Amino acid sequence: MKISPYRPRRFVPQTIDLTDTAQLAPIFESLKEKLDVARTAEQLEVWLDDYSEVCAALSESSAITYIRMTCQTDDPEREKAYLKIVEEIDPWLKPRQFELMQLVSTHPLLPKLPSYYNIFRRSVQTRVKLYREENVARETEEAKLCQQYQKISGAMTVQFEGKEQTLPAMAKIQEEADRTRRQTAWELTAQRRLQDRPALDEVYDKLLGLRVEIAKAADYPDYRAYTFANYERFDYTPQDCIDFQNAVEKHIVPLARALQKKRQAKLGLDKLRPWDLAVDPEQRPPLRPFATGDELQTKTQAIFNKLDPRLGQYFSLLREHEVVDLDNRKGKAPGGYQSTLAEARLPFIFMNAVGLQRDVETLVHEAGHAFHAIAARHERLHAYRGAPIEFCEVASMSMELITAPHWTEFYNTDDARRAHRDHLEGIIKFFPWMATVDAFQHWIYTHPKHTHAERDAYWLSLMNRFGGIEDWSGYEDIRASLWHRQLHIFEIPFYYVEYGIAQLGALQLWQLSRRNVKRSLDHYLSGLSLGGSLPLPELFHATGIEFDFSDRTIEPLMAGVQAALSEIST
């Protein structure tokens, strides 16, 4: 990484060690003193600037430690540095940050600040309401358990054809035409996951227990209610999510199952099995868009250059500052993410590329998050340089859809159409999985005393409700623990419906791009530049889309996806 502060520090000493509480203590004392003597709204705004600088410095220090750990989970020194943040620094910071927020929330000048600070005011009041000192230790333990989940998952490998392979690397085989080889690879991977089923169940049981205690201590009836407040979901309710699940079941599950029936017919199979879901139904060779992470970067750069010069410049910025780690390797944490280096006001992209089409989609997805971070980097408040996650995912998912016509950088025309069709079909398939993951967690946290057998049974009931037509005979245990693969269920509870809400927003923007791509990207960048300074529905509106996930939005959008699929197939 080649990074430096976006603006020179004005309040935080240049030479401070941000992992030394003895050096941090005077900073917080100074903040308290400055807040106490603020006598005008302007002085309070300056104080908020200082506080934002402190938050950005601490956030970047923590982010770098997390990035280093996830890039090499089997490095004891990196793990030690990360655990120091989790076990020592964060627990020390939380009560001091709460004390400052409590003082700000009751400050007589807070109501006199300009309307720009309305969202900040609302957020501060929520944070103060939620905070309980006794939950700090629980949150520390929660973070350690999440790191344990990453460590267990990151260590999973199998021996296949004489070589040790990571599970992401094994996924490539599911796209190959040889059905026997696919089945062997699928079974090896599934059995390897089952091997750690007891360990992962134990981690999850501990997480569930901690989260129940956190909600109870904060005076919420259950962890679902606590999380909706903690995520500042001011604009929709648990019932809205349940209605969304029902709409997916009504409008999208039949489409997903129809796609599988077509797949089964094209493959000429009596039964569709779990290892038949990723192979090309016409038995063509798997799409192999690139060989190395460098090639992936270069061709993605070309796409953004063609799409819009502003996006091309943003992506160039990431490459210049070397804030990407793309290639899969042993010891690397699973998944992909974008983390903002808050003081440099630069994004970092992490992923596990192995040469698949989904890696192309992952990079343009995470690039969308990165563009959001760059577009909003001018915001005065650190808190406004991010946005509600429902809108953050519009930024990322829109890039998957809007870049698709330019995937010819990776493929010939026929293969590019195939990749585009697979992606649109993937969106149809995604919604039932989203509804499954969301409904599962609604049940988990409103029935916290469930047994393992009840948990498995409920998960399987959701698989039957939202799942496909594939036959799982002989693999029931594997099906019952499929949720172990979804890191969000472990690490970020209830963070999944946002992907569904955002996908509806992204589809609206994509529909606009099909008529006028420049106008859609103008809307896109305009909305992103607002960061988190407006309520969620207003951010959607500023981007030219509606904040709605009811039947009236879902039905026409799915019709649009089907129309596009028909065009691509002709």
Average pLDDT over residues 286-296: 94
pLDDT above 90 covers a percentage of the chain that reads 95
Residues 6+ apart with CB under 8 A from 8: none
- 157 sits in which H/E element: strand 157-160
Residue 124 lies in a domain: yes
In which band, very low, low, confident or very high, does the pLDDT at 284 lie, cut at 50, 70 and 90? confident
Q: What is the pLDDT, as a whole number, of residue 75?
A: 94
Residue 204 lies in a domain: no
DSSP 491-556: HSTTTTHHHHHHHHHHHHHHHHHHH-HHHHHHHHHHHHTTTTSS-HHHHHHHTT-----SHHHHHH
Q: How many residues does the chain have?
A: 570
Residue 466 lies in a domain: no
Query: In this structure, are residues 174 and 182 in contact, taking their beta carbons and an 8 Å threshold?
Result: yes
Average pLDDT over residues 119-137: 94
Average pLDDT over residues 197-221: 98
Q: How many domains does the chain have?
A: 1
Q: What is the domain extent for residue 82?
A: 21-131
In angstroms, rounded to a whole number, what is the distance separating the alpha carbons of residues 235 and 20?
39
Residue 47 lies in a domain: yes
pLDDT of residue 570 exceeding 80: no
Residue 309 lies in a domain: no
Residue 494 lies in a domain: no
Query: In this structure, are residues 296 and 360 in contact, taking their beta carbons and an 8 Å threshold?
Result: yes
Query: In this structure, are residues 53 and 9 in contact, taking their beta carbons and an 8 Å threshold?
Result: yes
Residues 6+ apart with CB under 8 A from 213: 135, 138
- 353 sits in which H/E element: strand 346-353
Rg (CA), the chain: 24
pLDDT above 70 covers a percentage of the chain that reads 100
In which band, very low, low, confident or very high, does the pLDDT at 177 lie, cut at 50, 70 and 90? very high
Query: In this structure, are residues 175 and 280 in contact, taking their beta carbons and an 8 Å threshold?
Result: yes
Kindly report, residue by residue over 335-372, the tens digit of the pLDDT: 899 999 999 999 999 999 999 899 999 999 999 999 99
Residue 343 lies in a domain: no
- 165 sits in which H/E element: strand 163-166
Kindly report, residue by residue over 416-463, the tens digit of the pLDDT: 999 999 999 999 999 999 999 999 999 999 999 999 999 999 999 999
Residue 421 lies in a domain: no
CA neighbor of 430 nearest in space, from 384, 365, 477? 365
